[in-house]
Each structure stands twice: as C-alpha cells, then as structure tokens.
C-alpha cells in the first residue's frame, strides 16, 4: 500500500510537468492579450502529430524534433496573431469574436488532421518506450522522467526570460498596462505577436511531449485544453511558480482519485476541482496577480 | 522661431463625443506652459492627441515644426515626447527599478540608461531607497515620483505632465512642484496640466485656459494671474 501511494505521488509530480507546460502557454496569452486561445487544443494536437510524423517518416526521436517543432509552432502563432487575431475590430480581441475565431481555427486544424492522418489512434514507439528505472522501490518510466525534465527546463527558461531580459519585462509590462508601454516606446503590437507565438509554441511542445505518454488522434487536445483551464484558474496568470503548484495539485488529485473512483472518471476530477475553485476562490489560489 | 510643439486647430474626441474644438497652442523650447481649466474641459484629451493615443479629426500636431500625423504613438517617445499620465499608470507588479528601465525602452534612451538612472535618482532620492519594491506598493506621492522618473528615463525634450498634484498631500504637492522647477532649471521644456491654478501659474512661463474644448484665454502667466475674469471664475477671489 505504501509503495502504491509512493508510486502515485511520484507519477503525479512527473505528470505535473506536462500539465504546467500545457497550461502556461494558455495563461501567458490570456494574461498579456486578454484573449482565450481556443486553438490551444489544436496546437497540442498538431505538436503530437508533428513529433509522430517526424518519427514515422525519418525515424527522428521525438525529443530531438522538439526544437524544430517549437520554431514552426512559434511561426504558426505569429501568423495566427498577425493574420487573424490582430484583424479583429478594435476592442473585440478579448471578446466573443476571438473565441469564435480561434475555435474555428481549431476545427479547421482538427478536420485537416482527420483528412490527412485518419481518425486512427497513433502512438510513438521508441527503443526506450517501455524502459523504467527503479526509484525508492517504485518503477519510473524513462519517458515520464524525460517529459518532466524537458518541462522543468522549459519553465525555468521562461521564468528567466520573463524576469531577467528586457523584452521579457516588456511582456509583463504590456500585461499590466499596455498604454503606458506605448508611451514608453514599447511596440505593443510586436509584443502581442511575440507572446502569441510563445504561447502557441508551448502548446505544441506539450503535444510533442504527450506522445511519449499517450496514444492520440485528431481529437486529442480537447481534454488537455480543459485541464489547462483548470491549471490557469487555479494558479493564476503567468506566474511560473503558481502554474507549477496548480499543475501539481491537479495531477495529485487526479492520480489519487483512482483510489476512490473508477479510473474512467479521473478526467472529470479536474472539472470538479475547477468548479470548486470558481465557487470558493474565484481569484485563484494566489490572488489576481498578472505576470507579477 | 518655430515652437518645439505646436497644436494647430485640433478637433478630437471619443466615438460620437467631440471633446476638442479647434484647439491651438504652442510650447517654445525652455518654457513651462500650463494648460488650465475645469474638469472635462479637454486638457487630458489635448495631451493624448500630442502623444498619439488618439488621432485628431481635424488640425495637426507639430513637433520641431514637423507634423506628427504619420508618426505612430510608440515612436513618439523616440522623438522626445514623454507623458506622465493622470493617475500615474505605473506597472504595479514590476519593481520601481524595472519601471524605470522600461521607461527607457526606445533605442536612444536605452543607450544612455545608466546616466539617466543616476539623474532621476538624484532628482528623487526616495526612488533609490525603494528600487526593489513593487511600484504598486508605493505611496501616492512616491508613485507620482516614479511616474515622472519613468517619463524622464525616455530622455524627453518635451515633458507633458497631467495633473501631477492630483490626490497628493499638500507637502508632497510642494515637493512635486519643486521637482518641476528643478527640471525647468536644467533646461527641460514642460507642458503642465493642472487644476491647482495658483501653483501652476506661479511656476509657468505662459498659460492657456481651456473651456468646453476651446482655448478661451492665453497669455503670460503673470498676466493671467492678475486677470480679473480668471480670478473670479477659477480662484474664487
């Protein structure tokens, strides 16, 4: 029993890395642009297929294709912003128009994937897919460990970028008061574009990482988007630490719920958590800070 | 001599509401010009036109004799125009130091960042003590200092101040006006919007009185101070 609990705890920590990566992109875009990127799910799915395709066609290891996927997804995000989101009428960027627009983009991506890859489940099998390492009596899959490592490095780098670099500070300033940024000479539109690119790249990274853990089809990303919402609402906007803690809470609650409810209900646990947070602490666990 | 700033026959407003009706004014190098008037007269709107936050519907704004019509608002800081907005509008969850650094975002200012940092910290030593504190946690007076300092970090030739004394304790208001005087002595050109007429006319070179979006009166500060109409309407004497 003790071993089982330890197993669940370790696996929750590892899973939290993926959840945090997934949610951070959504929170970043919302925090800076006040736009809910409903295409987040679409880009998670696209990231998974990109990693799978590179492996399937060229035998490229999914972890090695990540840099290319990040660059491509960043460009997709930049184009989505410059070509679509930016063209919304003034004041509509944060409204229902942007929800519809980005939901539309997601539908197009998803149906394109059905067309090209069919609706069959895909998996990425590598030589180490089934390898595990012993840890305090528990067995940890190499893939889970690698996913966690990549997530940790990514979030650490993001934190340093946002707090130490000039552009990173400008991104936080735009989130807090865009007009003051314009007055100081910060090109706010360029910051929006950059942020949208970053958030999109993070979504695709989460997708690529997920191929090590799950089978997926073109519908992949919907549950992940909803889990991202849970983490963002729980952890607040843009704080790396808040996101990490919230991701850990979600993963722990999900993992431990299998002790008391059937496993097919675990995905629902996140939404119960979401409702509870919205009712009890609507500002999130850490208050209303935006990219503080 | 061409004025550093000239506002020429500007109409402007928000949506269906027109606020400014043919406003014209000039600020020459080295002057402190004050823009006076009651709430809603159009003072803030005038400043927003100068910074490009809203575009004039008619008329134009000239800086160094050249029209700003084609200059995007985020490029105006680079030309040397800085605004300290009403209500400070700091980035509350960035530190004082970060607020100041980002004030120097455009290329010209970034090159002289450390020199300007020394300069504003000499003007407001309090900011040096508070540099690692979040801007949102400062007192009202300190926030106003931080907002002025942030604007100065962009190395402006023209500083626009929107109600710097608003909501501050009298002793802090005195400090604020002293800082404005100090900047003027160092050669800064200022356009000062104020509701505190007495204090504004005391330090200004010239003034304009705005009423319902039109310039009603203009002249040397000394002349405006003794104008019987102004004394009756605004000073209550």
Domain ranges within chain A, ordered by starting residue = 2-117+140-280
Answer yes or no: do A182 and B74 touch at CB < 8 A.
yes
Is the CB of A32 inside 8 Å of chain B's CB atoms?
A: no
With beta carbons under 8 A apart, name residues in chain B contacting A181. 74, 102, 105
Helix (H, G, I), strand (E, B) or coil at A1: coil
Q: Are strands B81-84 and B158-162 parallel, antiparallel or unpaired?
A: parallel
Of B101, B134, B154, the CB nearest to A185: B154
How far is it, in rounded angstroms, from Cα A168 to Cα A161?
5
Answer yes or no: do B105 and A291 touch at CB < 8 A.
no
CA B154 to mean position of chain CA atoms: 14
Least CA distance to B92: which residue of chain A? A176
Is the CB of A290 inside 8 Å of chain B's CB atoms?
A: yes
Q: Which among A56, A85, A6, A41 is positioned nearest to A202, based on CA atoms? A: A41
Which residues, other chains included, contact B216 with Cβ-Cβ below 8 Å and sequence gap of 6+?
A: B209, B210
The answer to whether A187 and B74 are in contact (CB under 8 A) is yes
Q: Phi and psi dihedrals of A288, rounded to 5?
A: -95, 20
Mean pLDDT rounded to a whole number for chain A: 91
pLDDT tens per residue, range A4-45? 888 888 889 999 999 999 999 999 999 999 899 999 999 999
Give all domains of chain B, ordered by start, each with its CATH number. Answer: 1-80+202-237 (3.40.50.300)
Answer yes or no: do B93 and A180 touch at CB < 8 A.
no
Q: Which among A23, A52, A45, A54 is positioned nearest to A107, based on CA atoms? A: A45
With beta carbons under 8 A apart, name residues in chain B contacting A173. 91, 94, 98, 102
How far is it, in rounded angstroms, from Cα B237 to Cα B230?
9
CA B136 to mean position of chain CA atoms: 21
Average pLDDT on A236-249 reads: 86
Q: Which among B154, B151, B157, B155 is positioned nearest to B3, based on CA atoms? A: B157
Please, which pLDDT band fits residue B68 given cuts at 50, 70 and 90?
very high
pTM: 0.92
Answer yes or no: do B53 and A188 touch at CB < 8 A.
no
Of B51, B94, B109, the CB nearest to A183: B51
More confident residue, B192 or A7: B192
Helices A222-235 and A266-280 meet at what angle, rounded to 10? 30
So what's the ipTM on this one? 0.93
> Per-residue pLDDT for A288 more than 80?
no
Answer yes or no: do A185 and B101 touch at CB < 8 A.
no
> Per-residue pLDDT for A269 more than 80?
yes
Q: What is the DSSP letter of B71?
A: S
pLDDT confidence of residue B232: 73
Alpha-carbon separation of residue B152 from A74, B46, B75, B89, B188 (angstroms) = 35, 20, 16, 15, 10
Answer yes or no: do A185 and B109 touch at CB < 8 A.
yes
> Per-residue pLDDT for B1 more than 70?
no
The answer to whether A55 and A250 are in contact (CB under 8 A) is no
Is the CB of A166 inside 8 Å of chain B's CB atoms?
A: yes
Interface probe for B, chosen from A32, A171, A179, A185 (most Cβ of B below 10 Å), is A185
CATH of A2-117+140-280, one of 1.10.3470, 3.90.580, 1.10.10, 3.30.450: 1.10.3470
pLDDT tens per residue, range B12-54? 999 899 999 999 999 999 999 999 988 889 999 999 999 999 9
């Amino acid at each position: 029993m003790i071993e089982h609990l330890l197993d669940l705890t370790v696996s929750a920590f590892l899973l939290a890395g993926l959840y945090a990566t997934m949610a951070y992109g959504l929170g970043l875009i919302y925090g800076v642009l006040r736009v809910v990127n409903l295409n987040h799910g679409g880009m998670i799915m696209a990231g998974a297929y990109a990693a799978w395709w590179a492996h399937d066609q060229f035998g490229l290891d999914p972890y090695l294709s990540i840099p290319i996927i990040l660059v491509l997804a960043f460009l997709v995000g930049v184009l989505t912003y410059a070509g679509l989101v930016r063209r919304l009428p003034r004041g509509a960027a944060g409204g229902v128009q942007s929800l519809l627009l980005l939901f539309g983009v997601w539908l197009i991506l998803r149906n394109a994937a059905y067309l090209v890859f069919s609706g069959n489940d895909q998996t990425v099998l590598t030589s180490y897919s089934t390898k595990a390492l012993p840890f305090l009596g528990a067995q940890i899959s190499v893939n889970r460990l690698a996913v966690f490592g990549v997530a940790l490095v990514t979030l650490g780098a993001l934190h340093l970028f946002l707090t130490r670099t000039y552009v990173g500070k400008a991104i936080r300033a735009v989130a807090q008061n865009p007009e003051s940024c314009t007055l100081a000479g910060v090109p706010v539109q360029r910051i929006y574009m950059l942020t949208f690119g970053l958030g999109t790249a993070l979504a695709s990274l989460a997708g690529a990482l997920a191929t090590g853990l799950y089978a997926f089809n073109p519908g992949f990303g919907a549950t992940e988007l909803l889990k991202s919402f849970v983490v963002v609402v729980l952890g607040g906007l843009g704080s790396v630490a808040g996101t990490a803690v919230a991701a850990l809470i979600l993963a722990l609650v999900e993992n431990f719920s299998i002790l008391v409810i059937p496993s097919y209900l675990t995905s629902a646990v996140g939404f119960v958590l979401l409702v509870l947070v919205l009712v009890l602490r609507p500002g999130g666990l850490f208050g209303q800070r935006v990219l503080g | 001599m061409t004025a550093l700033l000239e506002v020429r026959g500007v109409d402007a407003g928000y949506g269906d509401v027109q606020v400014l009706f043919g406003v014209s004014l000039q600020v020459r190098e080295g002057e402190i010009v004050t823009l006076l008037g009651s709430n809603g007269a159009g003072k803030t709107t005038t400043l927003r036109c100068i910074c490009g936050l809203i575009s004039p519907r008619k008329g134009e704004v000239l800086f160094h004799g050249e029209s700003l019509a084609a200059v995007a608002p985020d490029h105006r800081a680079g030309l040397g125009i800085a605004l300290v907005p009403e209500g400070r509008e700091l980035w509350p969850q960035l530190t004082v130091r970060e607020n100041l650094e980002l004030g120097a975002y455009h290329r010209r200012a970034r090159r002289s960042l450390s020199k300007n940092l020394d300069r504003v910290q000499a003007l407001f030593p309090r900011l040096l003590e508070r540099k690692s504190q979040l801007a949102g946690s400062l007192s009202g007076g300190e926030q106003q200092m931080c907002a002025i300092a942030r604007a100065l970090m962009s190395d402006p030739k023209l500083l626009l101040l929107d109600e710097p004394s608003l909501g501050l304790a009298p002793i802090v208001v005195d400090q604020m006006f002293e800082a404005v005087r100090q900047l003027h002595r160092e050669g800064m050109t200022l356009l000062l919007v104020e509701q505190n007429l007495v204090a504004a006319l005391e330090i200004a070179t010239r003034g304009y009185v705005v009423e319902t979006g039109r310039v009603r009166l203009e002249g040397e500060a000394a002349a405006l101070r003794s104008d019987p109409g102004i004394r009756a309407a605004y000073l209550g004497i």
